[in-house]
Amino acid sequence: MLSVEAVSKTFGGVQALREASLACAAGEILGLIGPNGAGKSTLVNAISGTLRPERGSITLDGRDLTGRGAEHCARAGVARTFQNIRLFKDLTVRQNVEVAYITCRATRAKQAAGIDIDALLAQYGLDDLADVPAGTLPYGSQRRLEIARALALGPSLLMLDEPAAGLNEGESEALAMAIEGIRRDVGCATIVIDHDLRFINRLCDRLCVMDQGEVIASGETLAVWRDPRVIEVYVGQAQPA
């Protein structure tokens, strides 16, 4: 269970997070949405330890992760993918997954025991590409490798930052089914950020909506879309200036 309580962060004069809170339970798929600049990536960065919040607290399964750094968070079971793919481009596909697995084996022996790298590569359609440098893969395969690598960490929390960006409808549907498979097989808490609202609504049990650094609504997907503040942010955006 991830619990984020009243986290704040400023960059110069910009308040990127204003006492943002959210929770995500094991086996749950939470959609984190909001307009550009709402603070979604900043919140994910705080949860994954790449930036230190000024106030608030972040715990995973009761362990305090607040400001503990990316390596500590990864070892505690936080895995993520990035808006702009960040693979080890010169390492092979298999080596990318192995690096994560080695981290998992060092600190999460129970989870590591359940991970089979060959099966993971096959599951994500990467078995025939295992010895190819990651940087030479087509875009869709790089996206799948990022997810396979995140799963090799044996995560308790998986955060996917714009996983459907650049995918066509068929690829998005396949991705949604793969994420549902992760819920079934791994049972981790999953947070998905995406601007593709059809993808988000189809996939997520609950939504957390941010605007200007604040969480303005959270709850079951359908209920959130009836919230006047959410309607204002989304419909307001579509109005001509």
Ligand X SMILES: Nc1ncnc2c1ncn2[C@@H]1O[C@H](COP(=O)(O)OP(=O)(O)OP(=O)(O)O)[C@@H](O)[C@H]1O
Does residue 52 bind ligand X (CB under 6 A)? no
Q: Are 194 and 172 in contact (CB under 8 A)?
A: no
CA-CA distance, 157 to 1, in Å (whole number)?
A: 8
Q: Are 157 and 189 in contact (CB under 8 A)?
A: yes
Does residue 183 bind ligand X (CB under 6 A)? no
CA-CA distance, 38 to 207, in Å (whole number)?
A: 14
The least CB distance from residue 58 to ligand X, in Å, is 15
The least CB distance from residue 106 to ligand X, in Å, is 30
- The side-by-side arrangement of strands in the sheet containing 78-80 is 78-80, 157-161, 189-193, 29-33, 206-211, 214-220
The least CB distance from residue 155 to ligand X, in Å, is 21
- Member of 34, 77, 154, 163 binding ligand X (CB under 6 A): 34
- Member of 1, 5, 26, 37 binding ligand X (CB under 6 A): 37
Does residue 233 bind ligand X (CB under 6 A)? no
Does residue 40 bind ligand X (CB under 6 A)? yes
Does residue 54 bind ligand X (CB under 6 A)? no
- Member of 31, 41, 76, 196 binding ligand X (CB under 6 A): 41
CA-CA distance, 221 to 209, in Å (whole number)?
A: 10
The footprint of ligand X (CB under 6 A) covers 11, 14, 16, 34, 36-42
